[in-house]
């Protein structure tokens, strides 16, 4: 993905298309879990503003956000993510998010903010403010984990009232405004920008992405790897939708090895 100076931001394109920023990001990165009509509309806007759209079959980069490299599950988590990314033909970037700079890096790489946003954010908020926001972002991720697990399981009440209210409370901090910006070929365009007034607003983009999943994603495609010690989740985009492992290179092969040992043991018991 390449972005040229002076182009409309993803936020502005989302406003033009009448969708969320996370939906625009999905189309930009070649995701297939967007309705065909919506995807075509966003694709035209992205290309009209000079964006290059990643094909789902091309090489890509997965950004893994982790709070610490020294936690009890960090090594297993990173190894599994690397193997899963390699199996899908992608590379992986591991981002530790425990300081203000690391948090800003992750927000920008995830296309939640752009360079202009980052400049304004770092000028307005102190490093201590951003450190607290980074810690709160990690807390949001941990809070979302069981919520998405319950939603993916297809519970009768996938989004309980308190959870909905909590997400809505985060989203309510958002402040957006329209702004006329130079277009890629000269004519101006009307783009949407965020006004960053408080550090709490930095939680809005990831919360919006989670809300988009919970309201527009397919529950049955969000799954936890069946590896007994694996902590990874994945969104199953295989044609048969029968994927069981984060990666056949790790958890899948381990399961095969266990099954092989069990068959050998059972066979030996019959001799």
Query: Which burial class, exposed, middle or buried, applies to 255 when counting CB atoms under 10 A from its CB (0-12, 13-18, 19+)?
Result: middle
Question: 109 versus 126: which is more confidently predicted?
Answer: 126
Distance (Å, rounded) from C-alpha 167 to C-alpha 132? Answer: 18
CA distance 190 to 207: 25
Q: In 10 A of CB 156, how many CB atoms? A: 4
Q: What residues form DSSP beta bridges with 189?
A: 181
pLDDT at 79 over 70: no
- The answer to whether the beta carbons of residues 52 and 1 sit under 8 Å apart is yes
Residue 186: per-residue pLDDT: 76
Least confident of 72-86, 183-197, 236-250: 72-86
pLDDT at 159: 78
pLDDT of residue 1: 41
Mean pLDDT of the chain: 77
End-to-end CA distance of the chain: 60
Beta bridge partners of 70: none
The percent of residues above 70 in pLDDT, for the chain, comes to 74
> Would the pLDDT of 77 be above 70?
no
Instruction: State the pLDDT at residue 17.
Output: 85
pLDDT digits (tens, 9 = 90+) for 136-193: 998 998 899 888 888 887 755 557 889 999 999 999 999 999 988 887 777 888 888 8
Q: Give all domains of the chain, ordered by start, each with its CATH number.
A: 61-175+196-270 (1.10.3300)
Farthest CA pair distance, the chain: 82
Pairing of β 233-235 and β 222-224: antiparallel
Whether 11 contacts 191, CB under 8 Å: yes
Which of 213, 195, 225 has its CA nearest to residue 121? 195
* Beta bridge pairs of residue 223: 234
Residues whose CB is less than 8 angstroms from the CB of residue 84 and which lie 6 or more positions away in sequence, other chains included: 232, 234, 246, 247, 249, 250
pLDDT band at 72 (very low <50, low <70, confident <90, very high): low
**Pick from 95, 82, 176, 198: nearest CA to 138:** 95
DSSP, res 180:
E
Q: 18 vs 164, which has greater pLDDT?
A: 164
Look at residue 95 and give its three-state secondary structure. Answer: strand
């Amino acid at each position: 993905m390449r972005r040229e100076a002076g182009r409309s931001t993803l936020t502005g394109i989302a406003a033009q298309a009448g969708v969320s920023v996370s939906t625009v990001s999905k189309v930009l990165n070649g995701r297939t879990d967007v309705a065909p009509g919506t995807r075509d509309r966003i694709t035209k806007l992205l290309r009209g503003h000079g964006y290059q759209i990643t094909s789902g079959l091309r090489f890509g980069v997965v950004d893994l956000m982790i709070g610490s490299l020294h936690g009890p599950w960090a090594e297993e988590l990173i190894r599994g993510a690397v193997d899963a990314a390699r199996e899908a033909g992608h590379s992986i970037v591991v981002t530790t998010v425990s300081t203000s700079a690391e948090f800003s890096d992750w927000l920008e790489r995830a296309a939640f903010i752009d360079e202009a946003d980052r400049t304004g954010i770092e000028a307005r908020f102190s490093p201590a403010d951003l450190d607290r926001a980074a810690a709160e972002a990690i807390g949001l991720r941990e809070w979302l984990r069981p919520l998405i697990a319950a939603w993916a399981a297809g519970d009768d009440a996938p989004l309980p009232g308190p959870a909905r209210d909590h997400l809505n409370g985060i989203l309510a901090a958002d402040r957006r405004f329209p702004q006329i910006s130079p277009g890629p070929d000269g004519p101006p365009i009307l783009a949407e920008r965020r006004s960053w007034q408080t550090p709490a607003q930095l939680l809005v983009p990831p919360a919006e992405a989670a809300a988009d999943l919970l309201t527009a994603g397919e529950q049955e495609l969000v799954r936890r790897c069946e590896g007994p010690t694996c902590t990874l989740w994945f969104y199953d985009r295989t044609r048969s939708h029968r994927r069981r492992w984060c990666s056949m290179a790790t958890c899948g092969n381990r399961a095969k090895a266990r099954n092989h040992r069990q068959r050998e043991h059972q066979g030996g018991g019959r001799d």
